[in-house]
């Protein structure tokens, strides 16, 4: 793969995926880097973030954000190094988060970027624990979940970029925290490294019973990332006045038709609150969270983990893996070297 200065490589959407995204749903395009307009910044991409929401952007279902057009550059958050800037707030060599695109080089408005300190932790953390996924967990727990000391909190996709932060926040709030994850390795990490009180492997049979054992006092907060059978099992064990944070339902993102959901009769008698969120609705939470969590990442009290694959061309497969649960922690694509 050649990546000459002066040219950039982009992944554009060739067609809307049918089921799982495939490499040939996207096409590689090489073209000259455009000249910078006023207030613009050119970054070379170091890491590209791969997140489940991207499946919605390549579908043509109604959603909270318009889909990527056929032939359009696929969207995604990156961390990169500034190569050139026509805005006084950035100079070459700065590290910037927020440029969007599955691209080797990205031209952004300076206002859309956040400068980060290269020495403040691994660069990938700015896309995961300190970035959009971490902020999502923080905003969701602060604004919807509101876990209280002594309550039981269940987090699905517990080893993922969002779930791992959500559960650690609930532990800091003094809750009993139970994760749900796929497979023994993830469950072990969730318990031993993240410090959850228990973790249920949803791939094993007897999910309802395993949850019941892990949550002897019922469930007060459910942080929903997956939907499907896990949702069904958790909903049956919610306590009165439980809060359900609807963050995602990744188990169905590849499906053409959505399956029915749980009967909602229990919501009345148990006075349950089920509420969805999109992190960009409260943009102020991003800076709040960076300020709060950066010291915790530095001192090691907020744990995180990344799965890193190499090369921009790996992004479609990385998205497929995220939707399958094939990642372990935050999924990143290393697009360029960390240091020039």
Residues that bind a second copy (CB under 8 A): 56, 63-64, 227, 231, 240, 246-249, 252, 258-265, 267-278, 281
C-alpha distances out from residue 295 to 105, 109, 191, 287, Å: 30, 28, 22, 13
Record the tokens describing residue 59, joined without a space: 């579908």
**How many alpha carbons fall within 13 Å on the CB side of residue 110?**
18
Record the tokens describing residue 9, joined without a space: 């490589």
Closer to a second copy by Cβ: residue 1 or 268:
268
Rounded to a whole number of angstroms, the minimum distance from the CB of residue 93 to a second copy is: 39
Closer to a second copy by Cβ: residue 195 or 276:
276
Residues constituting the chain: 340
Rounded to a whole number of angstroms, the minimum distance from the CB of residue 278 to a second copy is: 6
* Centroid of chain to Cα 223: 14
Q: Are strands 152-156 and 198-201 parallel, antiparallel or unpaired?
A: unpaired
| Count of CB atoms situated within 10 Å of the CB of 27 | 13
Closer to a second copy by Cβ: residue 4 or 265:
265
Closer to a second copy by Cβ: residue 251 or 327:
251
Closer to a second copy by Cβ: residue 59 or 308:
59
> What gap in Å lies between CA 317 and CA 255, rounded to an integer?
17
Q: What H or E segment, with its residue span, contains residue 220?
A: strand 219-224
Rounded to a whole number of angstroms, the minimum distance from the CB of residue 311 to a second copy is: 31
Rounded to a whole number of angstroms, the minimum distance from the CB of residue 63 to a second copy is: 5
Closer to a second copy by Cβ: residue 168 or 225:
225
Closer to a second copy by Cβ: residue 132 or 333:
132
Rounded to a whole number of angstroms, the minimum distance from the CB of residue 282 to a second copy is: 11
CA torsion through residues 164, 166, 168, 170, sign: negative
Rounded to a whole number of angstroms, the minimum distance from the CB of residue 268 to a second copy is: 4
Closer to a second copy by Cβ: residue 60 or 117:
60
Contacting residues for 248 by C-beta, under 8 A, at least 6 apart: 52, 53, 157, 162, 224, 225, 226, 227
Asked if 130 and 77 touch (Cβ cutoff 8 Å), the reply is no
Contacting residues for 101 by C-beta, under 8 A, at least 6 apart: 10, 73, 74, 75, 76, 78
Closer to a second copy by Cβ: residue 90 or 253:
253
Q: Are strands 273-276 and 219-224 parallel, antiparallel or unpaired?
A: unpaired
What are residue 222's DSSP bridge partners?
154, 244
Rounded to a whole number of angstroms, the minimum distance from the CB of residue 23 to a second copy is: 26
Following DSSP, what letter does each residue of 47-60 receive, concatenated? EEEE-TTHHHHTS-
Rounded to a whole number of angstroms, the minimum distance from the CB of residue 103 to a second copy is: 26
Rounded to a whole number of angstroms, the minimum distance from the CB of residue 39 to a second copy is: 30
């Amino acid at each position: 793969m050649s990546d000459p200065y002066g040219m950039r490589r982009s992944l554009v959407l060739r067609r809307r995926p049918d089921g799982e995204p495939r490499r040939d749903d996207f096409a590689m395009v090489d073209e000259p880097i455009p000249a910078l307009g006023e207030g613009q910044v050119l970054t070379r991409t170091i890491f590209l973030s791969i997140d489940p929401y991207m499946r919605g952007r390549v579908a043509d279902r109604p959603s909270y954000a318009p889909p990527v057009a056929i032939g359009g550059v696929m969207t995604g958050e990156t961390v990169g190094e500034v190569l050139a800037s026509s805005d006084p707030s950035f100079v070459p060599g700065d590290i910037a988060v927020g440029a969007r695109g599955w691209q080797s080089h990205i031209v952004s408005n300076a206002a859309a970027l956040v400068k980060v300190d290269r020495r403040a932790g691994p660069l990938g953390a700015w896309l995961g624990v300190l970035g959009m996924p971490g902020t999502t967990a923080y905003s969701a727990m602060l604004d919807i979940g509101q876990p209280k000391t002594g309550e039981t909190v269940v987090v699905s996709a517990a080893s993922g970029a969002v779930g791992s932060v959500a559960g650690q926040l609930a532990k800091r709030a003094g809750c009993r925290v139970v994760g749900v994850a796929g497979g023994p390795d993830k469950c072990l990490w969730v318990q031993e490294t993240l410090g959850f009180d228990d973790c249920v492997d949803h791939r094993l049979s007897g999910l309802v019973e395993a949850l019941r054992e892990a949550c002897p006092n019922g469930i007060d907060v459910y942080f929903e990332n997956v939907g499907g059978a896990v949702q069904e099992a958790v909903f049956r064990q919610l306590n009165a006045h439980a809060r359900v944070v609807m963050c995602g339902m990744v188990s169905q993102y590849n499906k053409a038709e959505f399956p029915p959901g749980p009967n909602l009769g229990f919501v009345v008698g148990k006075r349950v609150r089920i509420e969805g969120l999109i992190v960009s609705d409260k943009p102020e939470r991003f800076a709040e969270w960076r300020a709060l969590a950066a010291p915790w990442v530095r001192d090691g009290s907020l744990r995180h983990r990344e799965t890193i694959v190499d090369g921009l061309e790996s992004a479609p497969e990385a998205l497929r893996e995220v939707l399958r649960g094939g990642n372990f922690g935050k999924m990143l694509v290393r697009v360029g070297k960390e240091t020039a």
